[in-house]
Structure 1
Amino acid sequence: MKVIILAAIVAITSPAVAADQFDLVCTSKKTSERYRVDLARNEFCFGECEQVMPIAEVTSGMIVLRKTDPSPPENSTIYNQINRITGEWEWYNYSPRLSITAQDIRGHCEPAEFSGFPAAKF
């Protein structure tokens, strides 16, 4: 009986976990990026997934992977966000100390199967 109850609980909770873990393949005219996203852990990584980072904010309509508001002395403005309804992707980075031009990438993201995070060494 306990095995049946445990199997039912796993069956019920598995789709919810799967819905919280996914990759996003984001493309624009200038670039393409693949993000690995785990909403349950509130973490993401990109590319070769060398660093797992916290997600800045998640709502029902938006995933904000990264956000930095300008403040002295850097005065950098950075955001990387995906609209969960339309799939629109905005990746903006302006650091006045490093460049006179801003990186302003706009494109579209599509969901893909979650490719996982690397195993922790400790």
Structure 2
Amino acid sequence: MLYFAVAAAAAFNLICTGTTEKTDYNGSKSEPYTVTYRVDTAARLWCKNDPEACKTPQKMVDINAVTIKFIDTTKDTPDQFFRYVEQVNRESGLHQTLTVGGRGALMRITKQEGHCEPAPFSGFSKTNPKF
């Protein structure tokens, strides 16, 4: 019986709100954002916002007592640099995403920073595979 209580606590939604700041060669602008994650820490799966996307949840990059890191990817070529990180601090609720792309004067940076609150797990969308 204890297993079911632990499993239920491991699955939850996170509703995150904050500010998106976009900076490029034209300057900077800010706007509010809201994102909802569906998270299953036991299975290390997650998705966000879109029921269609939640039909195929993604694996978390890393999870520990302090951080859930959903995505952390870097691509560095002679023509293009790209870095994307998406994570939430489990102790403080701090939500952060960072997108950096380009080279030199054409560098673009998008940062989201906000706060997440837990909510009941709405589950991953059901699929009807043919095989």
What stretches of structure 1 move > 2 A for 4+ residues in a row? 69-75
Q: Between Structure 1 and Structure 2, how many residues are aligned?
A: 111
Amino acid at match of 2:93: G
CA shift in 2, pair 1:119/1:59, >3 Å: same
CA shift in 2, pair 1:74/1:53, >3 Å: farther
Q: Which structure dedicates a bigger proportion of its chain to helix? A: 1
Q: Which has the higher contact order (CA 8 A, sep 6+)?
A: 2
1:39-80 CA-to-partner distances (Å, cap 9, x unmatched) read: 122111111232221111101000001111243264211001
TM-score (norm 2): 0.78
Q: Could you tell me the percent identity over the aligned residues? A: 27
Q: Which structure dedicates a bigger proportion of its chain to strand? A: 2
Instruction: Identify the match of residue 48 of structure 1 among 28, 47, 50.
Output: 50
Tell me the equivalent position of 1:88.
94
Q: Distance between the aligned counterparts of 1:115 and 1:71, measured in 2?
A: 37
Q: Distance between the aligned counterparts of 1:18 and 1:82, measured in 2?
A: 20
The structural deviation recorded for 1:96 is 1.4
2:62 pairs with 1:57: yes
